[in-house]
Amino acid sequence: MRTLIQRLLSSSIIPLLCLQSTLLWAGTQEDDAFEFDDFPLEEPVDHPSWFKHSFLDLQEDLQEAIEQDKQGIIVYFGQRRCAYCKMLMQVNFGLSDITAYTRSHFDIIPIDIWGIDELTDLKGETLTEREYAIRENTNFTPSLIFYGREGHEALRLRGYYPPYKFRAALEYVADGHYLKESFPDYLARGDEGQVFEPGDLNEEDYFIPPPHNLDRTRFKGERPLVVFFEQGECHACDILHGQPLRDPAINQLFRKFDNVQLDIYAESPVITPGGQQTTAKAWAQDLGLFYTPSLIFFDEEGKEVMRVDSVVRFYRLRNVINYITGRGYLSQPSYQDWRIENLSN
């Protein structure tokens, strides 16, 4: 199987000007992007000074970006003690090519997900920063919503992504690919013409073996369901299985679920919780997944409750599992509000 770097360098997605920083990330910063303490920070993190000092009128912000010949705006949802936000600021924006490319093509509008300042959205509706964050279902910080020049959402990133994936997201929007294809399809084009041998997936003793009939429309499940979408030769998957899933508390919490693992690129048959006959690959495409590992959580009736489809460490993963197993979503649909009620971050 080709290494990640070989795949990136052979792909049209990563231009030559990015080779130096791509190699830097792959070498010295790879572990930085996946291995960090995600407990709430003792010292608050600040966003870079080059983020826009906005009056929180997104219509005006977009117009100003267009006048500066930029491709749109990025609304950044963050919080001061978020370890994942710190990773975005220090690791991703610590790379000069990512910072330069972002500043050249976008204005970034920072939003405090707990903020009380009034904001006017792109449709002219006025609401507080916190109300806006809840409405946009920004379960995890950092979350970024990209808006193109026409004022429509072009891409949404919920959570922290390593530099190579973040760079691809920037280029996907800046080059206008969002107007004609999905982000997963855009990423897949980078692998066109490449032949990949299937890699072995990490195994857990609580994974239910195939065949995978996950239909919950006829008979309600006895426990909630979590589907792990993974792939072979996946460094982030190795980290998930080698670290968070080895934590005794997290390991025991997952045993309260029905757990299923699927290869995101496999043609293996599966019946979804909604009763649809499909394949693992087609289902992943329908779900819009573009990152592995992605964990999709369903309730006993087969309704998706939430997903974790970005980098995740111990603290966040424990909170999500407790939210699901404790059925916190029944009384508090907003995961952010549930965390405050339960003194979580």
Q: Tell me, what CATH number does 70's domain have?
A: 3.40.30.10
Domain annotation covers residue 201:
no
Indicate whether 61 belongs to any domain.
yes
Residue 295 lies in a domain: yes
Based on the domain organization, do 33 and 180 belong to the same domain? yes
- The reply to whether 137 falls in a domain is yes
Claim to verify: residue 149 and residue 266 sit in the same structural domain: no
The answer as to whether 198 is a domain residue is no
Q: What is the count of structural domains for the chain?
A: 2
Structural domain harbouring 131? 4-189
pLDDT above 80 (res 194): no
In contact, 302 and 221? CB cutoff 8 Å: yes
Residue 198 and residue 232 in contact, taking contact as beta carbons nearer than 8 Å: yes
C-alpha distances out from residue 189 to 193, 285, 292, 305, 321, Å: 9, 14, 17, 30, 34
For residues 300 and 337, state if they share a domain.
yes
What mean pLDDT do residues 121-134 have? 96
Checking if the pLDDT of 98 tops 60, the result is yes
Does position 129 have pLDDT exceeding 90, yes or no?
yes
Is residue 104 domain-shared with residue 173, that is, in the same domain?
A: yes
**Tens digit of each residue's pLDDT (9 = 90 or more) over 244-291:** 999 999 999 999 999 999 999 999 999 999 999 999 999 999 999 999
What pLDDT shows up at residue 343?
57
Is residue 31 scored above 90 in pLDDT?
no
d(CA 229, CA 237): 10
Sheet (strand 153-158) strand order = 106-112, 72-78, 143-148, 153-158
- The per-residue pLDDT for range 100-113, each reduced to its tens digit, is 999 999 999 999 99
